[in-house]
Amino acid sequence: MYFSVENLYWAAGFRGYCRYVVLLSLPHPLFLTTIDPLFMYTEEFNFDLPETLIAHSPAKNREDSKLMVLDRKSQSIEHCRFSDISHFLPKNSALVLNNTKVFNARLRAKKESGASIELFLLEEVSPSVWKCLAKPAKRLQSGTLLHIADNFSAKVIEKGEFIILEFSFSGSFYDLLELHGEPPLPPYIDASDPKQFADRYQTVFAKHVGSVAAPTAGLHFTPEILSSLSSQGMDINYITLHVGYGTFNPVKADLVKDHRMHSEQFNISMETSDHLSSHKKRGGLIGAVGTTSARTLESAWDGNGFISGQHSSDIFIYPGYRFKTLDFMVTNLHLPKSSLLMLVSAFAGTSFIKKAYAEAIEHKYRFYSFGDAMLIL
């Protein structure tokens, strides 16, 4: 049941005329869906999520997660297990997965005074120089020396919104991170030993090191599922987008259009770009595993095909965006007011996603990185 109301909206500096659709059939008291994306509020993508539905640990097996199947044409919803996904994916389609690999981005260091500092590596800005977060940052000044391990230290060379560190070490930097660092697990994941879920916070097809967060939709896939899909005619393809720290952050701007996305690096091989371009020109369907793959494909499309090579993307996809490449998508259940939730709302329709999320809460689906999955057809 729904009805429409017209609302005259006034804000500092401008006047805007907006129409809303109010959805009353859902368990939450009020959902407002803006028709005009210019006046779409971030608050429209907020919802109440019970703390008990946040996945603090992974399912026993990757394929044990629940799978909600959304059919955009029929507006129907079906519930099953992720192990059943092959029954729903369109035959003879191309499936695109992100093969980035998460590295141990969290480090424990000590100042010369013995005070402990927690570091979170964000981006290598030049050889041995990294942009980082630090806690507590107030204890750091330009020139502060930090000891991590034998023959592994860092010096603060700049302090601003982020901390810029220059590392000194012998050997391979990533080997040292593997030895002394910790997986960059989100704070809501309950792990007494930070390395307890290191394997499960990595896809089985992870290959290229560079992410500080996992492409979580890919975590559900097993070698057996991928092999089964291939044997059934599914065309499996891999791209690489290194997931940055800002991917899962809530949108803070009041108006959605005012949000600025962080930039992330992606790479598509010449072979993969040619293959996917030919597949699409033949009328073949393309599906993305995760919002990172979706953003990569939409960024790489030039109107005639997919570009190859290494590029950066800060594309922000929200309702009103017209998809150019995607026919279906596998995704997780996302945080309120996140750019990820806005992307899937753009793909499936805001009202349909809100209906699906309300149903997910009713059926006790698990949310976020180690949570359950959704297939949008």
The verdict on 165 and 227 lying in the same domain is no
The verdict on 123 and 94 lying in the same domain is no
Q: Which of 180, 213, 231 is a domain's end point?
A: 180
The verdict on 215 and 144 lying in the same domain is no
The verdict on 92 and 135 lying in the same domain is no
Q: What is the pLDDT of residues 332-355, one digit of tens each?
A: 999 999 999 999 999 999 999 999
The verdict on 290 and 210 lying in the same domain is yes
Instruction: State the pLDDT confidence band at 8, using cuts at 50, 70 and 90.
Output: very low
The verdict on 278 and 359 lying in the same domain is yes
Q: 92-101, 111-120, 257-266: which range is least confident on average?
A: 257-266
The verdict on 143 and 208 lying in the same domain is no
- Compute the distance between CA of residue 249 and CA of residue 252 in angstroms, rounded to an integer: 9
Instruction: State the pLDDT confidence band at 14, using cuts at 50, 70 and 90.
Output: very low
The verdict on 167 and 285 lying in the same domain is no
Closest CA to 123 of 309, 306, 265: 265
pLDDT value of residue 77: 98
CATH code for the domain in which residue 169 is found: 2.40.10.240
Q: How many other CB atoms are there within 10 angstroms of residue 257's CB atom?
A: 13
Q: 6-10, 28-32, 284-288: which range is least confident on average?
A: 6-10
Instruction: State the pLDDT confidence band at 300, using cuts at 50, 70 and 90.
Output: very high
Closest CA to 243 of 184, 301, 283: 184
* pTM as predicted: 0.88
Beta bridge partners of 80: 67
Instruction: State the pLDDT confidence band at 248, using cuts at 50, 70 and 90.
Output: low
The verdict on 51 and 128 lying in the same domain is no
The verdict on 72 and 209 lying in the same domain is yes
- Token pair belonging to 195: 């390395």
Quickly tell me which residue has 């402990």 as its tokens. 116
The verdict on 282 and 157 lying in the same domain is no
Give a yes or no: residue 351 inside a domain: yes
Largest separation between any pair of C-alpha atoms in the chain: 66
The verdict on 247 and 308 lying in the same domain is yes
pLDDT value of residue 269: 98
Whether the bond between 250 and the residue before it is cis, its omega within 30 degrees of 0, is no
**What's 338's DSSP letter?**
B
**Domain that includes residue 221, residue range:** 47-102+199-376
Instruction: State the pLDDT confidence band at 39, using cuts at 50, 70 and 90.
Output: confident
pLDDT above 90 coverage of the chain, percent: 83
- Token pair belonging to 118: 């927690």
CATH code for the domain in which residue 294 is found: 3.40.1780.10
